[in-house]
């Protein structure tokens, strides 16, 4: 990996680029993951590379939904494994929730490699290497999943997702939590709870909020999940973005 000087003004962003590039070389991320990362970077730039209040609010309600769930599952693809394997495992352990590898450009070899990366960060079992079920109505390999994992999950966290699976999971009656820097994506629009934030900030923030939320009575968690208005929060994100852009050059 390229040695980036800490003094570089774009140090953190460059380190993430290096991580994705290395993960492609190691067969963990798909080459199109570089393009997906670039799109995410662009939106992050517009957001000011920070977790805006609307992201924090969505992160808290997402954790509430995960704490209330009977079978919560965190879905992991190549980019997520490259950028945030440690944070995925930390969140899965703290909730607790299961981890499942789910790939758009699926090969068994890459699924196995990603499962190994998660295990190297302390995950015990990882679903998804040997799929036993299929998400109805989803033609791509994204539909392959495990009966005891995503197939029977009631709440699924899908970071860096494509809209098709998000819709298919909603049709199955699941609560879908998306982490997507693009508030205009189909995933962002169709998820039950959309976190417009970078996975590298969102996942640790979610884990951090668990002790506080766990102390609340179940009824308070149910109230916050039941009262969540995702479209309203997305509209606030768009308002934030346009206000920020309009203020930049005046």
Chain residues that interact with ligand PTJ, rule: CB under 6 A: 30, 32-33, 36-37, 39-40, 43, 77-79, 83, 103-105, 160, 162, 179-182, 185, 198-199
The residue among 198 and 207 lying less far from ligand PTJ, judged by its C-beta, is 198
The residue among 31 and 214 lying less far from ligand PTJ, judged by its C-beta, is 31
Closest distance to ligand PTJ from the beta carbon of 180 (Å) = 5
Long-range Cβ pairs for the range 206-211 (8 Å, 24+): 206/59, 206/62, 206/63, 206/66, 206/91, 207/87, 207/90, 207/91, 207/94, 209/59, 209/60, 209/63, 210/63, 210/67, 210/94, 210/95
Closest distance to ligand PTJ from the beta carbon of 162 (Å) = 4
Closest distance to ligand PTJ from the beta carbon of 222 (Å) = 28
The residue among 41 and 222 lying less far from ligand PTJ, judged by its C-beta, is 41
27 φ/ψ sector (left φ>0, alpha ψ -120 to 50, else beta): left
Long-range Cβ pairs for the range 139-146 (8 Å, 24+): 140/104, 140/164, 140/165, 141/103, 141/104, 141/105, 141/106, 142/102, 142/103, 142/104, 142/106, 143/168, 144/102, 144/106, 145/100, 145/102, 146/100
Residue nearest to ligand PTJ (CB): 40
The residue among 51 and 182 lying less far from ligand PTJ, judged by its C-beta, is 182
Distance CA 223, CA 146 (A): 31
Closest distance to ligand PTJ from the beta carbon of 69 (Å) = 22
Closest distance to ligand PTJ from the beta carbon of 183 (Å) = 9
Closest distance to ligand PTJ from the beta carbon of 226 (Å) = 26
Closest distance to ligand PTJ from the beta carbon of 80 (Å) = 8
The residue among 59 and 180 lying less far from ligand PTJ, judged by its C-beta, is 180
The residue among 184 and 245 lying less far from ligand PTJ, judged by its C-beta, is 184
Q: What would the DSSP string read from start to end of 49-79? A: SS--HHHHHHHHHHHHHHHH-SSEEEEE-HH
The residue among 75 and 224 lying less far from ligand PTJ, judged by its C-beta, is 75
- Asked, as a colleague might, if the bond just before 152 is cis with ω within 30 of 0, I would say no
């Amino acid at each position: 990996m390229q040695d980036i000087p800490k003094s570089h003004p774009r140090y953190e962003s460059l380190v993430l680029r290096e991580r994705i590039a290395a993960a492609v070389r190691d067969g963990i991320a798909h080459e199109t993951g570089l393009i997906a990362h670039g799109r995410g970077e662009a939106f992050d730039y517009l957001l000011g590379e920070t977790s805006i209040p609307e992201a924090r609010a969505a992160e808290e309600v997402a954790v509430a939904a995960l704490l209330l769930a009977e079978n919560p599952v965190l879905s992991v693809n190549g980019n997520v494994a490259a950028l945030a394997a440690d944070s995925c495992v930390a969140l899965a352990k703290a909730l607790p929730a299961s981890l499942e590898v789910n790939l758009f450009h699926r090969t068994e070899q890459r699924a196995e490699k990603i499962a190994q990366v998660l295990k190297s960060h302390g995950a015990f079992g990882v679903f998804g290497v040997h799929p036993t079920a299929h998400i109805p109505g989803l033609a791509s390999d994204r539909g392959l999943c495990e009966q005891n994992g995503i197939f029977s999950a009631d709440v699924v966290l899908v970071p860096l997702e494509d809209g098709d699976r998000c819709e298919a999971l909603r049709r199955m009656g699941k609560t879908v939590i998306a982490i997507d820097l693009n508030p205009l994506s189909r995933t962002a629009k169709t998820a039950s709870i959309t976190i417009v934030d970078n996975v590298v900030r969102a996942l640790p923030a979610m884990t951090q909020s668990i002790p506080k939320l766990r102390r609340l009575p179940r009824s308070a968690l149910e109230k916050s999940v039941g009262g969540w208005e995702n479209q309203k929060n997305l509209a606030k994100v768009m308002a934030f973005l346009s206000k920020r852009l309009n203020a930049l050059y005046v």
